[in-house]
Amino acid sequence: MTYKYSLKGIQQRMAQDLLPGKGNEVTVRRLWWAALETLQDDILLPMNLSQGLWIAAPLPALYEPRLLNRLQGWVWAPEELNSLYTPQSSFLLPSRTRAYAQKAIVPGNEHFRRIPLRKKDGRDPLLIIITPEIQVALGLHGNDGSRQLVMRSDPETIADLLMILDARIKDEVNVEAIELGKALEGLGQIESNQGIEKLFWPRLAERLAVMAPSVHLQAMPDKEIKSDSTTNLTSELSLLEALTHEVRTPLATIRTLIRSLLRRDDLSDLVESRLKHIDNECTEQIDRFGLIFNAAELQRQPKETSRLAKTDLGAMLKLMYPVICSQLERRGVQLLMDIASDLPEVLSDPERLELMLGGLVDRTGRGLPSGGSLTLKLRPAGNRLKLQILSEIPNSQLQGIESQEQNAELGPVLSWNPNTGSLQLTKAATQRLLASLGGRLADRRDSGLTVFFPVAEVN
């Protein structure tokens, strides 16, 4: 069978003879991150590989230092990443992951070489490992609703992938592509190792079983660009997708390791407390970035609210109370909750609403100084429920806070406070995201937010 000489063609060949998937974007992205950890931690590292190469797109999927130091790497990367880590954009990353992202993305990285990605290549992630001892290809494939994670290590597929790569390399004028061709030729005789499939899938299932539910992070749809404004927004989404990957991958790995350590019985109280603090910080940053990405995607593809369901907003806030309280206490901010009894259910999307509520609390409470307080009030208001998130600042600190409230909008989705370094959604993006969840953000002149949710009809 003949395939186009594109990375999308490689993924099509990988999916040959497989049943179509049934996953959505959220599901396969979760599988992809878990698969990267499984492949590197459970299969490649124990083999103690000494030579070989890896190829990835559209981002450097390999991140384990012991592998990066031993294997040569090439990444087909989009042009948007040229300006990913600049003084103007570095604040988009949490401080704990800036160093990682800088090492992983900027041009001239010693661990891999970059080749320009073409439009026909698509944006689905791909990772191919070729060594004398093992050859494996990992990628995502399929349209929305039939997405799937594909892992292939059989000799026939690997041989076809190498043929497509060879033809693609010969069609490149990039110097790095020529070096990739030489590296492939220099590997010499390779031996198939199909037994990894018997190890990979069970280990992946075990890893997924212990992973906590995470945010909805979705990739940018691969659609034609029809205007300059759409082009700019598409570039922003590409940047956000790249940042999401680079933030989420190391933080998810750290969180998984932390939670495995917390199951031990021999930890001192101090160590356990520090580990829980790290876990909370990782989760908070993952959620913040996921919310930003969801808002950016909604900007490009507005979604209707026809799938809203009955949601017990009061019960949801009570369940979230311990997590929110712990988050605010780390900043020295007190949380008060005032929820009326016997409240009706509202129409919303329960799963996405929980992430959104956490984002609203974070938005309101992030700028509060130690000693401040945040109050959540939920009251009936006609055929709606009114949620108020009110902040209170000590009088002695009001003047300093007022000087920090000027945010600079970076586009239709992001705003940034240059005084505090805080990144958050613009008011317009927050309104759109809430509208997709059935809520309406009301203007307030005082400090805080007010959101109205429609009450569900009683059968």
* Radius of gyration of the chain measured on its C-alpha atoms: 24
**Are 83 and 197 contained in the same domain?**
yes
pLDDT at 258: 84
**Are 153 and 251 contained in the same domain?**
no
Contact predicate 28/7, CB 8 Å:
no
**Are 27 and 174 contained in the same domain?**
yes
**Are 286 and 325 contained in the same domain?**
no
Does residue 349 fall inside a structural domain? yes
Does residue 265 fall inside a structural domain? yes
Q: Is the pLDDT of residue 425 over 70?
A: yes
Does residue 398 fall inside a structural domain? yes
Structural domain for 257, as ranges:
228-300
Domain count, the chain: 3
Does residue 459 fall inside a structural domain? no
**Are 55 and 187 contained in the same domain?**
yes
pLDDT at 379: 93
- Beta bridge partner(s), residue 226: none
Q: What is the DSSP secondary-structure string of 382-442?
A: TTEEEEEEEEE--GGGHHHHHTT--PEE-SSSEEEETTTTEEEE-HHHHHHHHHHTT-EEE
Q: Is the pLDDT of residue 220 over 60?
A: no
Q: H-helix or E-strand containing 380?
A: strand 373-381
**Are 426 and 348 contained in the same domain?**
yes
**Are 268 and 389 contained in the same domain?**
no
Q: H-helix or E-strand containing 114?
A: strand 113-116
Taking Cα atoms as reference points, which of 21, 320, 291 lies closest to residue 148? Answer: 21
pLDDT at 432: 87
Does residue 200 fall inside a structural domain? yes
Distance CA 128, CA 115 (A): 15
pLDDT tens by residue, 268-279:
999 998 888 888
Does residue 217 fall inside a structural domain? no
Q: Which residue has the higher pLDDT, 350 or 38?
A: 38
pLDDT tens by residue, 81-116:
554 433 333 333 333 333 333 444 444 445 788 888
Distance CA 191, CA 43 (A): 16
Q: Which residue has the higher pLDDT, 97 or 432?
A: 432
Distance CA 218, CA 249 (A): 14
Q: What is the CATH number of the domain that holds 273?
A: 1.20.58
Contact predicate 364/347, CB 8 Å:
no
Distance CA 97, CA 25 (A): 24
- Who's near 397: CB < 8 A, 6+ residues apart? 369, 371, 372
**Are 248 and 315 contained in the same domain?**
no
Distance CA 27, CA 323 (A): 25
Which of 270, 300, 330 delimits the end of a domain? 300
pLDDT band at 228; cut points 50, 70, 90? very low
Does residue 223 fall inside a structural domain? no
Q: What is the CATH number of the domain that holds 396?
A: 3.30.565.10
**Are 146 and 288 contained in the same domain?**
no
**Are 328 and 387 contained in the same domain?**
yes
pLDDT band at 216; cut points 50, 70, 90? very low
- Who's near 16: CB < 8 A, 6+ residues apart? 1, 157
**Are 176 and 116 contained in the same domain?**
yes
**Are 61 and 149 contained in the same domain?**
yes
Which of 250, 267, 300 delimits the end of a domain? 300
Mean of pLDDT over the chain: 77
Q: Is the pLDDT of residue 448 over 80?
A: no
